[in-house]
Amino acid sequence: MREAAGRGETSEDSVGTGGRGRRGRTAQRRGGPRGERGHKKSLTRRGRILLWTAGVLAVLVLGAAGAGAWIYGELDGNIHAADVDDRIGGERPRNMSPGSKNILVVGSDSRAGGNAAYGKGLETMQSDTLMVLHLAADREWATAVSLPRDSWVRIPACDRGDGTRSAPHRFKINASFAIGGTGGDVGTAAACTIRTVEQNTGLRIDHFVSVDFQGFKGMVNALGGIEVCPEEAIHDEKARLDLEAGCQTVRDEDALGYVRTRYSVGDGSDIGRIGRQQEFMKALAAKAQQTLTSPADLYGFLDSATRSITTDRALAGIKPLSALASEVKGIPADRLTFLTVPNYAREADVPSDRANVVWQYPQAADLFDAMAEDREPDKKALEAAAADPVHARSVQVQVLNGTGVAGRAAEAAEELRDLGYTVVGTGNTPDPVDRTAVLHAPAMADHARVLTSRLEGVTARPDERGGGQVLTLVVGPDYPGAA
């Protein structure tokens, strides 16, 4: 039975309508974006096992086909290895669950070489897809979390790969790949992305896998194309795509355009594009398993797949990828969860921003904490908690300086305003304090969590004398800065 992308089952479980990210546990938390336009979609269990990267899919097919040793050696040499460990820098989150693995998967949108036709004026590497796959230490469950490329997060200082270093700032999360890849090196691009993800989620990234455009096209072509069934015509000049409605087989530029298109289909969101990409990969996986029977077709598919893959050195090669694929394949089907980090449109906090999303707190922080501590996320509970987001703009805060150092309240207030919080005033405490804290009226506990989730290590406590709906942030000498 054929499986068509864009028809039947849809592809992603999108949690919540709001969201923000957090910095690393030993570093900091940070915020990110997403829209109040997320769509809830489901994905077949087999699709969840196979979609996360074309590289693992290729290895599974290779193992099933029993390819000869000479093919193994040649394909093994196709996989690119990148040095990242020495480029990520310090302040990394500690590994809180030895034995578990967090794998960062990047869909690379490099504008070099054969990809130069995409994205006029873009001279740096780009990332179209970003997700973190968490494998539990006991390998009894796994969770893959998509991070929308338009997530508004804090990007730390990074090595650009051209002898210069960027300054920390807030922007779309996918910009981290472009910043690190300024010099054209995938290793520095990946290092900046890893550093950004770690400091916004608190997750220690163990491995990364990058798959680029041209290899993707080669895989699709080796299969004779993939059938898609768009419900409406798609005419997208940016994605170089012109498709009529209805079922049809796509290959070459049309296949690439289909997974890249965004603004000309559906609600125009990155969330919708994530769903199409996942559904397409599910169809590609199914067709590869069903149709790659001839050595020539198999080799063409695997050659394209392996040439498109770049990994960290520990994961580079068919043998380590095969071992990883076997671990994924062995996880019980009903213990595989696919989520998108809870998020909402940044416009809810910053009306002038209609392009980005932020991660929804405290739900995003709860999700990342569970993964860091190797606790299986409860998707239903997460969805229920994310159903009614508390936007940062609705959180009113007065900031008091308890350090005795002039200007600390003003600095903290400016950080909070940048994140969309409503700062109603600043001042000083009568006496210095030892630790930063958030004080709140008993009825405002939920609002306090929305604030403390973005302040690493800061706790909230009820204050019967609290001023109604206004929270009080008392800045101490340990104030970590807002994420």
**pLDDT tens per residue, range 272-326:** 666 777 678 778 777 876 776 667 777 777 788 788 888 999 999 888 887 887 7
Q: Write out the DSSP string of 40-101.
A: -----HHHHHHTT-HHHHHHHHHHHHT--HHHHHHHHHHSEEE--HHHH-S-PPP-SSTT-E
Average pLDDT over the chain, rounded to an integer: 80
**Under-70 pLDDT residues of the chain:** 1-72, 109-126, 128, 213-214, 263-264, 266-274, 278, 289, 292-294, 466-467
d(CA 158, CA 197): 12
Burial readout 17-27 (b: 16 or more C-beta within 10 A, e: otherwise):
bbbbbbbbbbb
> Would you say how long the chain is, in residues?
483
Tell me what pLDDT residue 101 has.
95
Task: Read off the pTM.
Answer: 0.79
Domains and CATH numbers, the chain: 45-386 (3.40.630.190), 392-475 (3.30.70.2390)
Contacts of 389 (CB under 8 A, 6+ apart): 16, 17, 18, 19, 36, 342, 344, 360, 363
Half-sphere exposure of 169 (CA within 13 A, CB side): 8
Q: What is the pLDDT of residue 278?
A: 67
> Token pair 């008091």 is at which residue?
400
pLDDT at site 241? 86
At residue 36, the pLDDT reads 36
Residue of 235, 342, 224, 340 lying closest to 292 (CA atoms)? 224
Cβ(36)–Cβ(393) under 8 Å? no
Residue type, 151: S
For residue 403, which of 475, 316, 314, 318 has the smallest C-alpha distance?
Answer: 475
